[in-house]
Amino acid sequence: MTLYVDSSALLKRYVDEADSDRAVELLSSDPQLVTGRHTVVEIRRNLARLLEPTAATASRAAFAADLTAISIIDLDAATCELSATIAEQTGVRSLDALHLGAASRLGTAMTFLTFDVRQAQVARSLGFSVAGV
């Protein structure tokens, strides 16, 4: 099974938040993690925002190392068009639509991992199996 990981779930690996233990457990449950290219921007922004500089630097290094084992879906024209359609049809936020569009490129043989309640609702409406929330 493939696990598509959104930023809300992956960030919990580097920042101690509610449900961080659960997120780490779920992330460890599948050897094949996938995420969208924009996750790099979201994670690095939040590390800089949430952590003091020394911790942010260490977490950024850990994230960069983890990225070598995570498959990345590029935000090409087809993915962006699909994401735009999802956003128009569901009203989901732009970055969430990009995650949902990227995950859609994998088909239905995947689980969508998120801790964002609104995004999880839309993911379920798209027929995804959802973990996290």
pLDDT digits (tens, 9 = 90+) for 48-68: 999 999 999 999 999 999 999
Alpha-carbon distance of 42 to 61, in angstroms, equals 15
Quick one: pLDDT band at residue 109, thresholds 50, 70, 90?
Answer: confident
Alpha-carbon distance of 12 to 24, in angstroms, equals 7
pLDDT of residue 78: 97
pLDDT of residue 93: 97
Q: Which domain covers residue 116, as residue numbers?
A: 2-132
pLDDT of residue 28: 94
Q: Which regions of the chain does DSSP assign to beta strands (E)?
A: 2-5, 33-36, 71-73, 110-114, 129-132
Residue 108, pLDDT > 90, answer no
- C-beta of residue 9 within 8 angstroms of C-beta of residue 117: no
Residue 74, pLDDT > 80, answer yes
Amino acid at site 34: V
pLDDT digits (tens, 9 = 90+) for 16-49: 999 999 999 999 999 899 999 999 999 999 999 9
Question: How many C-beta neighbours within 10 Å does residue 133 have?
Answer: 17
pLDDT of residue 96: 97
Q: How many helices (H) and strands (E) does the chain have?
A: 7, 5
pLDDT of residue 86: 98
Alpha-carbon distance of 47 to 60, in angstroms, equals 7
CA dihedral 69, 76, 105, 6 (to 10 degrees): 50
- C-beta of residue 118 within 8 angstroms of C-beta of residue 96: yes
Number of domains, the chain: 1
pLDDT of residue 1: 73
Domain of 85, CATH number, reads 3.40.50.1010
pLDDT of residue 98: 98
